[in-house]
Amino acid sequence: MAEIILESIVKRYDKLVAVKNLNLDIKDKEFLVLLGPSGCGKTTTLRCISGLEIPDEGRIMLDGRNVTKRRASQRDIAFVFQLYALYPILTVYENIAFPLKAQKYDKKRIKEEVAKVAEILQITHILNRKPKELSGGDMQRVALGRAMVRRPKAFLLDEPIGTLDAKFREEMRVELKRLHIDIGATTVYVTHDQVEAMSMGDRIAIMNQGVLQQVGTPYEVYSKPNNLFVANFIGSPGMNFINCVPKKKGGKLSLALEKDDILIPLNKALASIVENEHDSKKLVLGIRPEDVSFSTKKSDEGLDVTVYVSEETGSYNIIDVNLGSQKVKVRTLPTVKPAIGDPAYIELDMNRVSIFDKESGGSIMK
Ligand code: ATP
């Protein structure tokens, strides 16, 4: 098992800096997901961990040993590509035995090692089958088994299920997560799919343009995003952003919407954060659609809106409303079906909001 520490990693391709000063501690037995849009440096980071790329700066520690300059073959790390790509003419046994055969292990040893791995993965009963006779989940187990027989310290997976159709991907996600729990090996998993990241990762490291934006549990990155990028990238639909500035009226601090005569009153905790900001400081109030409530009846706290459009998903509806000149998405029960243009009211759960500095994009929450 392995702890992987990345210290100030920089990787350049000519003038392009693909990974910029990355610091990341991946704990022993952890399932860490590297998440971010295409080109953000996820694969480059994974290749640096594996030894397929050597970073230009920084250190990579594997279980306390500096492996920065070691070749991939000297690192005891398995880089697993597509999990369903097995040799079709070989049986499950032969597929798993393949790397050991290549290393010229004797037959008895190969039999023992394959049996051990098959027992952990619970695939002993299918060792004589060919890949075409396997379910998707079993195929994944076999592919991992092929990597496991080499007894790697960690598994690196680069979009292993990315090209599968949505339904199959869902099944594979569950299987992979369960497998990780059963095997308990340190795993670094690359994806650009935030749903996959949220559902599988113990922690998620979110990257953008080569820079690590935030690392945290799915709950942390969802409810306490470090910046606007993370707030927008995580969640579907993403967080609502309302442009505003601080405004004091009658001794009470509120947020005034940019361009509209609308005030959002702040509770004590938020007021103590915002009062440190300059009067004209441009801020962004972030709130998730499920933290906004929708009503056609006026209430004390309700903000006047009009319905712009509603989208049905079956299990819930997303209603887009106009709050002054800005748009807000509200998540409601599927039974809420207002007509376009209807006047309505929304309430924001101020215990669940984030506030960002518009210019830097960083959160000002403590
Ligand atoms: P994707 O999901 O599209 O694979 P990614 O987040 O994994 O994206 P990387 O593949 O790490 O991103 O690429 C990061 C940046 O480095 C990109 O701009 C890419 O074009 C560039 N890059 C990656 N590999 C090379 C290479 N061998 N030579 C030159 N540029 C490269």
Render the burial of 110-124: b for 16+ CB within 10 Å, e for the rest: beebbeebbebbebe
CA 177 to chain centre: 14
d(CA 196, CA 354): 24
Residue in 171, 167, 166, 101 with CA at minimum distance from that of residue 140: 171
d(CA 239, CA 233): 9
Q: Which sequence spans correspond to the domains of the chain?
A: 4-233, 240-357
- Mutation choice for ligand 1 from 11, 14, 40, CB with most ligand atoms inside 8 A: 40
* Residue at 304: amino acid letter: D
Query: Is 36 close to ligand 1, i.e. is its CB under 6 Å away?
Result: yes
The residue whose CA has the least distance to atom 10 of ligand 1 is 43
pLDDT for res 17: 97
Query: Is 13 close to ligand 1, i.e. is its CB under 6 Å away?
Result: yes
Asked if 76 and 153 count as a contact pair (C-beta separation under 8 A), the reply is yes
pLDDT for res 82: 63
CATH number for region 4-233: 3.40.50.300
pLDDT for res 287: 97
Q: How crowded is the C-beta side of 119, counted as CA atoms within 13 Å?
A: 6
Asked if 354 and 225 count as a contact pair (C-beta separation under 8 A), the reply is yes
In this prediction, the residues of the chain whose per-residue pLDDT falls under 70 are 1, 81-84, 163-164
Query: Is 38 close to ligand 1, i.e. is its CB under 6 Å away?
Result: yes
Q: Please count the other Cβ atoms lying within 10 Å of the Cβ belonging to residue 45.
A: 28
Tokens found for residue 211:
């820079």
Query: Is 16 close to ligand 1, i.e. is its CB under 6 Å away?
Result: yes
CATH superfamily of 240-357: Nucleic acid-binding proteins (2.40.50.140)
> If you ran DSSP here, which 8-state letter would residue 199 be given?
H
Ligand 1 atom closest to residue 207's alpha carbon, by position in its atom list: 6
Please give the backbone phi and psi of residue 320, each rounded to the nearest 5 degrees, phi first.
Answer: -90, 125
- Mutation choice for ligand 1 from 9, 13, 189, CB with most ligand atoms inside 8 A: 13
Tokens found for residue 66:
């500096």
What is the tens place of the pLDDT at every residue in 241-272?
999 999 988 888 999 998 888 999 999 999 99
The residue whose CA has the least distance to atom 23 of ligand 1 is 44
Residue in 88, 95, 123 with CA at minimum distance from that of residue 110: 95
d(CA 178, CA 201): 12
The residue whose CA has the least distance to atom 19 of ligand 1 is 39
List C-alpha distances in Å: 156 to 20, 191, 216. 20, 12, 19
What is the tens place of the pLDDT at every residue in 191-242?
999 999 999 999 999 999 999 999 999 999 999 999 999 999 999 899 999 9
d(CA 346, CA 344): 7
pLDDT for res 79: 80
Asked if 33 and 203 count as a contact pair (C-beta separation under 8 A), the reply is yes
Query: Is 11 close to ligand 1, i.e. is its CB under 6 Å away?
Result: no
List C-alpha distances in Å: 345 to 174, 239, 297, 306, 335. 40, 19, 7, 8, 17
Provide the Cα torsion 275, 276, 281, 283; round to 10°: -70
Q: What is the mean pLDDT of the chain?
A: 91
| Element at 8 (helix H, strand E) | strand 4-13
d(CA 51, CA 301): 57
pLDDT for res 81: 66
* Residue at 28: amino acid letter: D
The residue whose CA has the least distance to atom 29 of ligand 1 is 13
Cβ-based neighbours of 293, under 8 Å, separated by 6 or more = 330, 346, 347, 349
Query: Is 18 close to ligand 1, i.e. is its CB under 6 Å away?
Result: yes
pLDDT for res 312: 94
pLDDT for res 265: 92
Tokens found for residue 150:
């080499």
d(CA 294, CA 212): 36
Ligand 1 atom closest to residue 47's alpha carbon, by position in its atom list: 11
pLDDT for res 186: 93
> If you ran DSSP here, which 8-state letter would residue 92 be given?
H
The residue whose CA has the least distance to atom 2 of ligand 1 is 38
> If you ran DSSP here, which 8-state letter would residue 146 be given?
H
